[in-house]
Structure 1
Amino acid sequence: MAKWLVKTEPSECSIDDFENAQVQTIPWDGVRNYQARNFLQEMAEGDDVFVYHSSCKHIGVAGIVRVVTSAYPDPTQFRADSPYYDPKSTPEKPRWQAVDMAFEKKLPRLIPLDEIKSLPGLEGLALIRRGNRLSVMPVTEQQWQIILANA
């Protein structure tokens, strides 16, 4: 199983939203960056995902969700009333992907970005590389274990 990290603004979709969801899964849609889309396409059922809160007062890794549906065409790209509508995308040739994810657990505490940056062994983590603004990124097993050990 692969490991991932997804960045989200808590006002849009937080770990609490996953925990309190009225339905079992939440679609991870609306991604409009080609590299992040490529990572979504690599996600498979059963993969573990860190939920990272960004653009908020308390930035950091907040919890874990699991991929429950592998990549499929993001339906928001076809809806003209969606902010993620893409008129160049068609059902025959979709450009964007989505996955469904479900709550696994909240971490005992939010692991802040400053702390993540200081942890030995995380120097190669895509999240802390300068200029990386991807909303979906891979995490190695070693990086995953380092972050979990500091939760």
Structure 2
Amino acid sequence: MAHWLVKSEPSKWSWDQQVAAGEKGTFWNGVRNHSAKLNLMAMKVGERAFFYHSNEGKEIVGIVKVVKPYYPDPSDESGRFGMVDFAAVKPLKTPVALKAIRDEPRLEEMALVKQSRLSVQPVTDEEWKIVCAMGGV
């Protein structure tokens, strides 16, 4: 199974809101970048993603899972972009800040470091293990 990282500004959609959506989860819409779209399209039900608070906080705060695969995003008038549904799995015991990720030499190639603006990113198995350890899960 692949691993991912998805970003959200907490003022628009926070970890607490994701948790409140319950086991059914909720859609992850608004992606308008083709690389991010391809990542969404590659996601399979059951795969896990880090939930990252961008702009405010700049830290990984939780883990979500894909509960519905890629489908059209009705908010996209062009019809070119889609979305997936995520449900919260668990919070990290200790949020992992972007600074801590940048300071960890084993994560220097992580997409979050190299492609910091990409809203939906792949995470390697090794990166997943390191960040989970840093976050206490």
TM-score range normalised by the length of the shorter chain: over 0.9
TM normalised by structure 2 equals: 0.93
Stretches of 4+ moved more than 3 A in 1?
none
Could you say which residue in structure 2 is the equivalent of 1:75? 74
**Quick check: 134-143 or 7-16, which moved more?**
7-16
* Structure 2 gaps, min length 5: none
Percent same amino acid among aligned pairs? 43
Whether 1:113 and 2:98 are equivalent positions in the alignment is yes
Q: Aligned pair count?
A: 135
How well do the aligned residues superpose, as a CA RMSD in angstroms? Answer: 1.3
TM normalised by structure 1 equals: 0.85
Q: 2:3 is aligned with what amino acid?
A: K
Whether 1:19 and 2:19 are equivalent positions in the alignment is yes
Q: Cα distance 1:115–1:7, how it changes in 2: closer, same or farther (>3 A)?
A: same
Query: 1:101 Cα shift?
Result: 0.5
DSSP 3-state at the match of 1:121: helix
Whether 1:138 and 2:137 are equivalent positions in the alignment is no
Could you say which residue in structure 2 is the equivalent of 1:31? 31
DSSP 3-state at the match of 1:76: coil
| Structure richer in helix, relative to its length | 2
Could you say which residue in structure 1 is the equivalent of 2:107? 122
**Quick check: 15-24 or 1-10, which moved more?**
15-24
Whether 1:101 and 2:89 are equivalent positions in the alignment is no
Query: 1:120 Cα shift?
Result: 2.7
Query: 1:20 Cα shift?
Result: 1.5
DSSP 3-state at the match of 1:133: coil
* Structure 1 gaps, min length 5: 78-85
